[in-house]
Chain A
Amino acid sequence: MSFKPVILWTDALVYFLVAAMIVFAWYVRRNEHLLAPWRRVSHSASGMASLTVLIFFVIIGLLDTVHLRPAVENNSSGAAETAYSVEVLSLFDVIATPLRTQVEKTYSAPFAVYLYARETVELPGGGQTREFPRLKYGGAHLKDPEAQLFADIIGKAIAGASLGLFLWGLIVVMLSLVLARRSGESVPSVLSAIRHGATAVSWKTISVTLALILMLFGAALTLCGNYHILGTDKVGQDVFYQSLKSIRTGLVIGTLTTLMMLPFALLLGITAGYFRGWADDVIQYLYTTLSSIPGVLLIAAAVLMTQVYMETHPELFDTVAMRADLRLLFLCIILGVTSWTGLCRLLRGETLKLREMEYIQAAHAFGVSHWRILSRHILPNVMHIVLITTVMDFSGLVLAEAVLSYVGVGVDPSTISFGTMINAARLEMAREPMVWWALFAAFSFMFALVLSANLFADAVQNAFDPRVKTLSARTGALRRKIRKEGPVAKPAATGAEDSFSS
């Protein structure tokens, strides 16, 4: 099948972000002292478990970012020129074609074979009854749903899970092969080291998490071909598909908004704190003014203006997807512009504290330039605040998107996002009988995403703080009770203290 690749604005920025991260990773790998804290991250069990989950989300998000326009059969004219569909699909859409196309009439519950609403059906004899009709796709292969349904679901789930388990086994074997080659040990000894958690990188946690994800995902994949495992929404679209599609929107809003906000917050915050004087006054007045305007109002005004502009200039956009995408990007920009004040204020305060530190004065005494002091001394010492704030904001931004969609100034209605899903669920919750699955799906996916991001950021922050080792006495006190069973033969970490002297 031929296709034409499409790069939307947000796609380009996401690619840029991915490229930047690859360059950063390459740079870190070459510098031993930068690598050391990341190694400490890899020793943290919770950090690696959440990273595994995050990678799963990111893979789906990235698949959903590669956009293309498939060719349509052009049978009317035999011209050499192929025409492309106006519908922009992502790689993920192509993979999930059955999910996307198997659309029911309206609501149906998870694993249901009947519709959730009564319909008047013409009886073969001529009369009419109101009943729950069979679904077009959900469980359509079953002859006698009442008897077969349960056994069929269990059977398929087990088959899928074992497929996932098989895949997991393959991955673990490959991993231990790689590890064995790198360390020069035999494969069984590496495997037993992983099983006992004796490796430096907590491979045990990673493989357990991976096993759970793969089993769950394997079962879900086998089931979703024949059932709507999370039900369908008002227009009969599969909720599972929607949830997976929402991941990209959430990631884009969370990351791109941060990308938009960071330059403002970092530059202005540090400048204000470091230079004091009139620069400080100007920046303070700026953010005080900005934060005293109701944020929603500002965002609504900006979004509505762009919306009007887009509607009056339809010729700028080839496809609907392009329009929706530009609106998403503007939302990110506007959220970024309005949300830098909090971080800026924090950074200003921290910089005010740092500029009085003696090492900054020592740098002054060396005649180090202002720019270098800012980048070498101040920036690394406020980075932990940036990291914590951006991750905390990540969940807040995903939620802000939901709130804005409620007001009607959020993402384009054609964009599937957690916000639009939750917004739709507002009406469904008031319905009798209640439709709970859309909200449930959005909630659980968002929860998993935000929780793993938070846990990972926590691990990163712990690993990067040089002082954290001395502060963790209390966790040590808890751990000692567990360790008491086995003999501890760890040398005390006192290298610097007694190895040399005057």
Chain B
Amino acid sequence: MSPVLRINNLETILHTEAMPVRAVDGLTLQIMRGETFALLGESGCGKSMTALSVMRLLPDAGEIIGGSVRLGEEDLLLLPETAMRSIRGKRISMIFQEPMLSLNPVMTVADQIGEVLQRHFNLHGGVARKRIQEILDQVGIPDPSRRMEEYPFQFSGGMKQRMMIAMALAGEPELLIADEPTTALDVTIQAQVLDLMRSLQQRDGMTILLITHDLGVAAEIAHRVGIMYAGEIVETAPRDEFFRGPAHPYSRKLLASLPGRDRRRQGLRLAAISGNVPPLSREFSGCRFADRCDHAWELCHEVAPGWTSLAGEQQVRCHLFNQNPGSRVPQRQFEDKRLDPAVQAKGSSDKPDSGVRPPDAESQVSNLLTVTDLKVYFPIHKGLIKHVAGYIKAVDGVSLEICRGKTLALVGESGCGKTTVGKGILQLIPTTGGSVRYDGLELVGLERSRLRKLRAELQLIFQDPYSSLNPRMRIVDVIEEGMNALNVEDESEAGRVERASGTRRKKVDTLLESVGLPPETKWRYPHEFSGGQRQRIAIARALAVNPKLIVCDEPTSALDVSVQAQILNLLRELQNTLGLAYLFITHNISVVEYLADEVAVMYLGRIVERGAVDEVLTSPRHPYTQALLSAVPVIEPASKREVIHLHGDLPSPANPPSGCHFHPRCPHVMPVCREVYPGTSTFSSMHMAHCYLYPQQQDTACVEAQAQAQA
């Protein structure tokens, strides 16, 4: 095996106003032929800049100032731009993160792939068309001869990513750089795309440089992994060795910060890495991770560690493994810790919280929120006078209950109506039918003024911390807004406005402290904060009005793993201290395992399965839940499981399939599934599903339905 790509001491800087940012600082790596190398790291650590440096497609402000990039025997950095152009797309291809943005919407698929063929192989006309069909066939697009004449908007997200892969493959590249290829996709689609990449590689012996932040994806398809931190690689190892025993403190923390059921069972906080990735404009002396490292001692702050080889091919850049006498003692301590994973986990987490939450007799009984048969339809307008031609049934009869101080997770793929449920409950969008009872009070149809009083009880945390804060308001204004609008403090009577505003300021300070931000930050504007800090501010804003229920709409999906752990820890702490109930909307199963008490799985506007978190996740009953869970990439090499492949995509909610919505993709489909929507099947006091595989509950509606189906 010869190395296809050899990057040696690559240094890339980005020129900014204040100081040059060392985006990539002395990066060295080798990728063998037919190997998948995963470059793992949090955002802002220079992964994408490495890929762009290899392609020599840096932005204007970027500059490669040192090192070499060899593809085979050729040094790419010495080539003139014209020669580089015949390498891009031919010998190195790239897949980008966002398939919707990387395809030209006004060109047909055939045109876009044909462009590559024409440039690199000089293929035209019939020959080119034949080749395009071949490539599309390879990436698993059905009926390629017809679909190649279609435009990108006629394809679904997963199909578009296949199209991107087809374009990348058209040049028959030696090296494929995949920059977060599945980040924008749903889990079931992600499983399809990863599978495709794996099979293509096995067939053609292609080399893949996979850039990702998702440890699961790397564990799924990489042969070797490199952990990148602050512009340099801190550890490289074969996949199995890495996930069995990560060496560098950063890698270990990264793995420990993944949420999961086991951590919750042990009642552990997630091992959040304190702080953020240091800004790369800084001069570093010593180890870059030293400031956030639990094992750091003086040497770490003074001398940058070199490479140390461990057993096998594992290499790490850390003083803990250095064989010089000065580091003996800490190393032994460290080795001890490494032996016992339980101790290690305990050591890295600050303190176990109250363990399994004490059962609260009173809260078991009363439901805080009861949603019955909630429907939200969006009308489709057509024609000149905009008559209603149909409805998009975003939410079509959802029922759920949330108890005081508990967490219900609503899981589903994008487009299944999760977010609409959340907004419908909060009455932020008009509901079409059903009822939402909060503490026994019906919210649907409540007039605006009475609803306003209830607003304090129900709050919302959004997915994108960048668009959820008004960029032109200071933090103090952001947090005070809700208090002012809802007049939170009861003691602030008329005539004592001055005093009230004083206590309000104090409340802002305590709120910021409770979410882990210093009170001085209240005078700043949102753009001065990082993503995780913004999410904390958004949480503080929601808490400011003393809510009882918070709808969390994917609050961590825009964040890095280590920051996600910080936020999840915070949410759990707040739940324990304040007794909050959460409706946690997410597509991330591992977060569900860690945080939720109950789970509801949604498919196309309806809940298909519901139950306590352990019941649903360990013994899923509905085929969709089974497929969804099997598609989640797992890290533990031992727990290899059969991925249930779903074909196709989520159907349009404007025109849902008849009968069970899932039947076109279901591996167990029966004739009756096509006819009538299945009734409820109950497995335990909480666990239920809608599927004909299980005996149906004998309610009248269901009997009638079956009778119809048989007739």
Contact = CB atoms under 8 A, between A and B. Distances in A.
A502 B467 contact: no
B523 interface: yes
B279 A359 contact: no
B351 interface: no
Interface string B512-526: 000011100101111
Given A358-B467, A361-B460, A367-B452, A502 B485 contact: no
A449 B211 CA distance: 54
Contacts of A500: 517-518, 521
Interface in B126-175: none
A474 B451 CA distance: 49
A474 B455 contact: no
Interface in A459-502: 466-467, 469-470, 472-477, 479-480, 488, 490, 492-502
Contact of A496 (B452, B455, B521): B521
B65 to A, nearest CB: 13
A121 interface: no
B455 A366 contact: yes
Interface residues of B, number: 65
B552 interface: no
B279 A494 contact: yes
A363 interface: yes
B61 A492 contact: no
Contacts of A369: 485
Given A366-B486, A477-B61, A361 B470 contact: no
A358 B15 contact: no
A367 B459 CA distance: 11
B428 A361 contact: yes
A364 interface: yes
Contacts of A368: 481-482, 485
A469 B294 CA distance: 34
A376 interface: yes
Contacts of A475: 17
The B interface is mostly helix, strand or loop, or mixed, namely loop
Interface in B506-543: 516-518, 521, 523-530, 533, 538, 541-542
Given A372-B485, A501-B276, A361 B462 contact: yes
B60 A366 contact: no
B212 to A, nearest CB: 24
Nearest to B528: A496
A365 B455 contact: yes
Interface in A428-475: 466-467, 469-470, 472-475
A369 B458 CA distance: 17
Interface stretch (B69-77, B339-347, B471-479): B471-479
Interface in B688-703: none
A496 B473 contact: no
A459 to B, nearest CB: 16
Nearest to B516: A502
Contact of B282 (A361, A470, A480, A494): A494
Nearest to B19: A492
B651 interface: no
A362 B461 CA distance: 8
A352 to B, nearest CB: 15
A357 interface: yes
A62 to B, nearest CB: 32
A501 B470 CA distance: 23
Given A372-B485, A380-B472, A496-B528, A473 B16 contact: yes
B471 A381 contact: yes
A473 B59 CA distance: 11
A282 B84 CA distance: 57
A469 B17 CA distance: 8
B460 A480 contact: no
A492 B469 contact: no
B426 interface: yes
Contact of B472 (A367, A466, A497, A498): A466
B17 A366 contact: no
Nearest to A465: B471
B282 A492 contact: yes
Interface residues of A, number: 43
A33 interface: yes
Contacts of B485: 363, 366-369, 372
Contact of B469 (A359, A472, A473, A498): A359
A358 B481 contact: no
B279 A492 contact: yes
A235 B451 CA distance: 74
B530 A497 contact: yes
Contacts of B516: 501-502
Interface string B260-281: 0000000000001011101101
B482 A493 contact: no
Contacts of A376: 470, 473, 477, 481
A496 B462 contact: no
Contacts of B542: 362
A105 interface: no
Interface centre among A362, A368, A377 (most CB of B within 10 A): A362
Nearest to A360: B470
A456 B464 CA distance: 35
Interface centre among A363, A369, A500, A501 (most CB of B within 10 A): A501
B40 to A, nearest CB: 22
A362 B470 CA distance: 10
B566 interface: yes
A473 B274 contact: no
A472 B526 CA distance: 18
Contact of B278 (A473, A479, A488, A498): A498
Contacts of A359: 467-470
A497 B517 CA distance: 12
Interface centre among B18, B452, B473, B516 (most CB of A within 10 A): B18
B15 A473 contact: yes
Nearest to B462: A358
Contact of B524 (A358, A467, A496): A496
B376 interface: no
Nearest to A464: B472
A351 to B, nearest CB: 14
Nearest to B545: A366
Contacts of B477: 376
Contacts of A497: 276, 278-279, 530
Interface centre among A358, A363, A377 (most CB of B within 10 A): A358
Nearest to B553: A358
Nearest to A379: B472
Interface string B1-34: 0000000000000111111100000000000000
Contacts of B281: 492, 494
Interface string A3-46: 00000000000000000000000000000010000000000000
B438 to A, nearest CB: 14
A140 B459 CA distance: 84
Given A466-B472, A476-B15, A497-B276, A366 B482 contact: yes
A360 B474 CA distance: 15
A381 B60 contact: no
B584 to A, nearest CB: 16
Nearest to A491: B18
B279 A496 contact: no
26 contacts: A358-B464, A359-B469, A361-B460, A362-B460, A362-B462, A362-B468, A363-B481, A367-B451, A367-B455, A376-B477, A381-B470, A381-B471, A469-B527, A470-B527, A473-B15, A473-B17, A474-B60, A476-B15, A477-B60, A479-B17, A480-B20, A492-B19, A493-B18, A495-B528, A497-B530, A502-B569
Given A357-B467, A473-B15, A497-B530, 8 more contacts: A359-B467, A363-B481, A365-B426, A366-B482, A381-B470, A473-B61, A476-B18, A492-B18
Q: Which A-B residue pairs are the 3 nearest by beta carbons? A: A476-B17, A501-B275, A367-B452
Interface of B: 14-20, 60-61, 272, 274-276, 278-279, 281-282, 291, 423, 426, 428, 451-453, 455-456, 458-460, 462-464, 467-474, 477, 481-482, 485-486, 516-518, 521, 523-530, 533, 538, 541-542, 545, 566, 569-570
